[in-house]
Chains A and B, each alone.
Chain A
Amino acid sequence: MNTPGQGRAGDVAIYALGLGDDALVLAQRMGEWIASAPELEEDVALGNIGLDLLGQARALLTYAGSADGRTEDDLAYLRGADEFCNVLLVERPDDGDFAHCVARLLVFSAYQAELYARLASSGDETLSAVAAKAVKEVAYHRDHATQWALRLGDGTEESHRRMQAGLDAVWPYVDELFAADELEPGLPGVAVDPAELREPTVAYVSGVVGRATLAVPDVPAAPGGGRAGRHTDALVSMLAEMQGLARAMPGVTW
């Protein structure tokens, strides 16, 4: 894992990098749906969500990089998978299954909504500004995912089955969102304790799952470790695609 800068400023940078990587990796996944969504309205909506996430990622990476003189692009394009500190939930491939996309977005946006609501009152001015803007964006993402979870869960037999399968597939990665963050205790009043987000996030998601006539999955958690740079092959192939051109021609301006 990378250590941008030293001491407290370095810790804030690492914290921002984790949140920024979450947003960047999910933005990249959303981008895969544009021109491949089930209907045109969805190409637009998923594109909007991807753009919001990309905006959050850029602000957070820029801030993280400012600790040691790296740009957002240095961080996005010149780190290997083992230097990324996103949670594993966001790197999972959807494999073109819209139910997986909705299930992930439901969980992740519910988590982000709780996170940013608290981070908006962070003692760190930059983080609080990013969060204050993002909190409105993720409210829309969460609403969008909620509407689809209801339609798919309570639509047809097939969509019910697929939506349940989507939830089952993402659920093992939920735990990691709330895993203790080794930096957080050292950043009181700046970072948010992830453990605090579990109850409200799960309550929101379970409420939607119930209304959608679906069941909250009862599956064992997958191993986490994303924040520490332990990732799946899915991230490795995503980065190979994302970074290919930038790495092939280093040092130029695009």
Chain B
Amino acid sequence: MYGNHDTTSVPVEAPAADDPTFDRDFMALIDDDGRVEPRDAMPDAYRRGLVRQIAQHAHSEIIGMQPEGSWIGRAPSLKRKAILMAKVQDEAGHGLYLYAAAETLGVDRADLLDRLHTGRQKYSSIFNYPTPTWADIGAIGWLVDGAAITNQVPITKCSYGPYARAMVRICKEESFHQRQGFEILHTLSHGSPQQHAMAQDAVDRWWWPSLMMFGPPDDDSPNSARSMRWGIKRFSNDELRQRFVDMTAPQSHALGLSLPDPELAFDALTGHWRYGEIDFTELFEVIKGNGPLNAQRMAHRTDAHERGDWVREAALGYAAKHARTEAVA
């Protein structure tokens, strides 16, 4: 998913062996690394937790179309325009796969969208940051899609079959997106001084928010333990964050761009990159709705949805009318 910082929702209790609803066979299946399929019996809390996670993942995909979509009309070359259009369209497709995966759990897309529009379900806070320059498109691809891949690859092995399978398709496309973002930044970084500065500025702004996409530190992540017990989450927030840093720090050298963390250094003893302390107070502000663009993102989404009301009603009306006609005929 785009973010793990699902800290505002009410944590669902992890099943305990002494809980009367605890389904011993179910947990045996999970422990055995088996796949749960839509028609299998599953504990209610497992179902609810999954619906919430998949829905919020789907919401993130579609809200994530906005910051980049705003550059489709302004992309500085036709080749870049085509790549960006295809990328934003891919994100819509990801939304579709994920809503479909959530629907296998007995909810419907219209209801999930309603929960998004009324603020009862969240989307990844990363999309509440602005994209003032073209270099932001590169930085989003490289860092945000990069963090998404890091988060999502383990979900391809998660315990719920439809979610895992959706993620296999999605991850393939996300890795294209990351490469394309890297390429945009590489071109800018090796272009004119003004282009280089634009690329550096975008990376400076996106670095810390992308580290926060992995969610709060492990000691402070109430939902992680339950997700891990259920085989939905395979690695902790901090483990995934470390993986991401280990992947991107060397790439920044290839880009000729620096990362805005004076403490970032390779630790030969552990084989990992050490990084400075993350200021999570900012993340929590953005989650609470005080990010730069929370209100604008939601307004855009609900506006598009409401302007489409009559279109969706027409499609339903037409389908109903023609189902009747066929029945009569």
Selected from A35, A72, A158, A238, the residue in CB contact (under 8 A) with B88 is: A35
Write out, one digit per residue, whether chain B residues 313-329 have a CB within 8 A of any chain A CB (1) or not (0).
11111110100000000
Complex formed: what's the CA distance from A55 to B79 in Å? Answer: 9
Hey, which bits of chain B sit against chain A, CB under 8 A?
A: 62, 65-66, 69, 72-74, 76-82, 85-86, 88-89, 92-93, 95-96, 99, 109, 134, 184, 187-188, 191-192, 194-195, 300, 304-305, 307-319, 321
Interface residues of chain B: helix, strand, loop or mixed (majority):
helix
Does chain B have a CB within 8 A of A252? yes
Which B residues are in CB contact (< 8 Å) with A35?
62, 65-66, 69, 88, 92, 300, 304
Does chain B have a CB within 8 A of A162? yes
**Pairs across A and B, CB under 8 Å, 8 listed:** A39-B312, A42-B308, A47-B86, A47-B89, A51-B89, A76-B78, A150-B318, A252-B195
Selected from A32, A37, A77, A162, the residue in CB contact (under 8 A) with B76 is: A77
Contact A254 B82 (CB under 8 A): no
- Which 3 residue pairs spanning A and B have beta carbons closest together? A38-B308, A155-B314, A159-B314
Write out, one digit per residue, whether chain A residues 219-254 have a CB within 8 A of any chain B CB (1) or not (0).
000000000000000000010011011100100111
Selected from B77, B92, B134, B188, the residue in CB contact (under 8 A) with A44 is: B92
Hey, which bits of chain A sit against chain B, CB under 8 A?
A: 24, 28, 31-32, 34-44, 47-48, 50-51, 54-55, 57-58, 61, 72-73, 76-77, 96, 98, 150-152, 154-156, 158-159, 162, 238, 241-242, 244-246, 249, 252-254
- How far does the Cβ of A68 sit from chain B's closest Cβ, in whole Å? 18
The residue on A at minimum CB distance from B134 is A245
Selected from B77, B96, B315, the residue in CB contact (under 8 A) with A246 is: B77
Complex formed: what's the CA distance from A162 to B307 in Å? Answer: 12
Which A residues are in CB contact (< 8 Å) with B72?
31-32, 34
* Count of A-B contacts judged by CB separation below 8 Å: 145
Complex formed: what's the CA distance from A253 to B134 in Å? Answer: 13
Which B residues are in CB contact (< 8 Å) with A253?
187, 191
Which A residues are in CB contact (< 8 Å) with B92?
34-35, 40, 43-44, 47
The residue on A at minimum CB distance from B190 is A253
Interface residues of chain A: helix, strand, loop or mixed (majority):
helix
- How far does the Cβ of A226 sit from chain B's closest Cβ, in whole Å? 20
Contact B195 A98 (CB under 8 A): no
The residue on B at minimum CB distance from A98 is B311
The answer to whether residues A158 and B82 also contact, given A48-B89, A253-B191 and a CB cut-off of 8 A, is no
The residue on B at minimum CB distance from A54 is B82
Which B residues are in CB contact (< 8 Å) with A55?
82
Complex formed: what's the CA distance from A73 to B82 in Å? Answer: 12
Selected from B93, B99, B304, the residue in CB contact (under 8 A) with A36 is: B304
Complex formed: what's the CA distance from A18 to B66 in Å? Answer: 32
Which A residues are in CB contact (< 8 Å) with B188?
254
